[in-house]
Every structure is written in structure tokens, then in C-alpha cells.
Amino acid sequence: MATADQLLKAEEREQARLDMFVESIEQGALEDIDDLLHHEERRDPEIFALVGADPEVTIDEYEEVPVAERDFNWVAGVSAMAVAARLQVFASHRERVIGLFSARARNVNALSLNREDLVRAAKTGISKAGIKAARAELAAPPEDIE
């Protein structure tokens, strides 16, 4: 049986792992989304079709539309394109995201607690300080085994 403290520590560790994953892809994601908005070559037409975005129209072409002609359809088109670009970048990291699914299922949801400890953990809650400490642990190089 795990304790309330162990459950919260596991929660904080997995949330830290997730935050660190997103931070690790952020710079590349910025560049990829920029590329997908301005160029059509690397776009996945199936993903763009999912959200009703035209895979052949770039943000530069939307920009050329006179201000007076930017109506609801213009806003919907640009919005769909932005969402499609984000989804394509998200999907490009699918293996690491699926890794986060597995890690959380294994390290948090597989823990067994009695009802009393579970309620205690639920009332105490996940803390930002705990997530910060978990980040430091995850970022630290493994200790040498003597």
C-alpha cells in the first residue's frame, strides 16, 4: 500500500516530467508552427482537413486580403490553420507523448491506497513547490554508484 505522501510525490513528479517535456520541444515548436503557417510544403493535408483548414493557403495569402474583406470566414480560416499547425506539431512528438501516458499510468494510477490515505492526499493536494522539487530531481544527473 502506498501512502498519501507517496501518491502526491508521484503526481508532482509526473506533472514535472510533462512540463519539462513541453519546455524541451518549445523552441522547435515555435519554428515548426511558423514554418507551417507560412509554407504549405510540410503540411499534413489530413490534419488540416480534420479541422477544416485549407492546406494550400498560407498566412501570407490571408494577409493580402484587404482589411475591409476580412469577415467571419477569414477569421475561421486563419484560426483553423493555427490549430492545424499546433496539432501537426503535437502529433510529430507522439512517441514522447505516448511515453508520458505510460509513465503516468505506471507511476501514479497504478499506486494502491486505502480510502483514508486517498482522501488525505486529495485534501492536501498537488503543490507547486513539490513540482519544482521534482523538476530539480529529474534534471539532476544520476548519482554515481559506488
Are 8 and 124 spatial neighbours (Cβ–Cβ below 8 Å)? Answer: yes
> For residues 129 and 145, which CB has a smaller minimum distance to other proteins in the complex?
129
Cβ 39 to other proteins shortest distance, Å = 13
For residue 40, what is the DSSP state? S
> For residues 69 and 146, which CB has a smaller minimum distance to other proteins in the complex?
69
134 binds other proteins (CB under 8 A): no
Contact pattern for other proteins over residues 109 through 128, marking x by CB under 8 A = xx----x--xx-xxxxxxxx
Retrieve residue 34's grid coordinates: 511558423
Contacting other proteins within 33-92 (CB under 8 A):
33-34, 37, 44, 46-47, 49-52, 59, 63-67, 70, 74-76, 78-80, 82-83, 85-92
> For residues 112 and 140, which CB has a smaller minimum distance to other proteins in the complex?
112
Are 145 and 35 spatial neighbours (Cβ–Cβ below 8 Å)? Answer: no
The size of the interface with other proteins (CB under 8 A), counted in residues, is 71
Helices 4-38, 115-124: crossing angle, 10 deg rounding: 50
Cβ 80 to other proteins shortest distance, Å = 6
19 binds other proteins (CB under 8 A): yes
Q: How far is CA 3 from CA 6, 88, 117, 134, in A?
A: 5, 40, 6, 18
Q: How many CA atoms lie within 13 A of 110 on its CB side?
A: 8
